[in-house]
Amino acid sequence: MSPTALLLVVIAAFCHAAWNLASKRASASGIPFIFLGAVASTVLWLPAAGVDLVLAGADLRGLAVGAGVSAVIHVGYMWVLQRGYRHGDLSVVYPMARGTGPLLSVVFAILLFGEHPSALALAGAAVVVAGIVGIGLSTGAPAAVPGESGRGRARLLLGPGVLYGLLTGVTIAVYTLWDAFTVNDLGVSPVSFMVGCSLGEIVLLAPIAYRRRAEVRAAWRDYRRQVVVVGVLSPLSYILVLCAMTLAPVSLVAPTRELSVVLVSLAGWLLLREPRPLQRLAGSAVVLGGVALLALG
């Protein structure tokens, strides 16, 4: 991976960790917060998208198709993620989501895009995924109740945080591959694409937001700072990743961006006082080792 692509992904990781921490703090709001985040993203980034369209031009049909499909996927992603943050620890949901997503992204990038990463890079991807999954499973499980059925014990072992994390990871893999196709094959600029995606999210969520407008007002009153953080940093983090995807294969960019897991684990410990920090930080050290292998590959 080139130094430029690596730098973009590292900056994106910091931005991604920051907006997920903000989203965790507002997780009780749900759909109203997601809607406000999409509005903030569109308003704050629209001028940049306008300049981008003037300077670079755009295939409006490709932009509409790419952003429209991605908006549907991202609404599902944000909804599942918010549900996970509502019912589980940040340092469990986030690692599980970010571990499952890269694993599937690497597999499908090889199968669908014909990418051929080096053995060292594949080893790095495997180490990253192993570290992230280890962090997620470090949460432990409630003790099984005597006489609990096998299905009940499995439900206790997994827990809502792990389950929602896995579901979020599936949506991450889907949007990663689709968005990579949009910027690489359809030639859509990352900035215009992200604004188009946010606008599509507004359209999709507007009917729900209108019916729950009192909740939307309450979410703005209680979480306006978090809304602005998400509005600025969520698009920025992904724009940086999309730019990196134009410089390096998806199968390398997708796992490397998971450096944010280390930052989120630290935030869960230091800011949210979540349990078992040493186990989760040990998993983070494994993640860093995998990132180093990816950079060398």
Identity of the amino acid at 95: P
Supply the pLDDT for residue 155.
47
Cβ 162 vs Cβ 67: under 8 Å: no
Whole-angstrom distance, CA of residue 94 vs CA of residue 135:
10
In the chain (297 residues long), the average pLDDT of successive 10-residue segments reads 87 92 90 95 92 78 91 94 89 80 72 78 81 70 45 53 85 86 86 92 96 95 95 91 83 76 83 81 81 72
Helical (H) or strand (E) element with 3: helix 3-25
Residue type, 246: T
CA 132 to centroid of chain Cα atoms? 14
DSSP string, 152-190: HHHHHHHHHHHHHHHHHHHHHHHHHHHHHHHHHTS---H
pLDDT, position 66: 92
> Assign residue 147 a region: left if phi > 0, alpha if psi is -120 to 50, beta otherwise?
left
Query: Which DSSP helix (H) or strand (E) runs through 84?
Result: helix 60-87
Alpha carbon 263 to chain centroid distance?
14
Residues 194, 76: Cα–Cα separation, whole Å: 16
Specify the pTM.
Answer: 0.80
Q: What is the pLDDT of residue 139?
A: 60
In this structure, what are the phi and psi dihedrals at residue 92, rounded to the nearest 5 degrees?
-110, -55
User: pLDDT at position 14, please?
Assistant: 93
Q: Which amino acid is at 51?
A: V
What is 109-156 written as a DSSP string? HHHHH-----HHHHHHHHHHHHHHHHHHHTT--PPPPTT--HHHHHHH
- With CA atoms as reference, report the closest residue to 223 among 17, 29, 21: 29
Please, are residues 100 and 92 in contact by the beta-carbon 8 Å criterion?
Answer: no
**Residue 222: exposure state from Cβ atoms within 10 A (0-12, 13-18, ≥19):** middle
Confidence (pLDDT) at 297:
67
Query: Which tokens hold the place of 265?
Result: 């684990």
The sign one gets for the Cα dihedral 164, 243, 110, 124 is negative
Q: Taking a C-beta distance cutoff of 8 angstroms, is the pair 258, 12 a contact? A: no
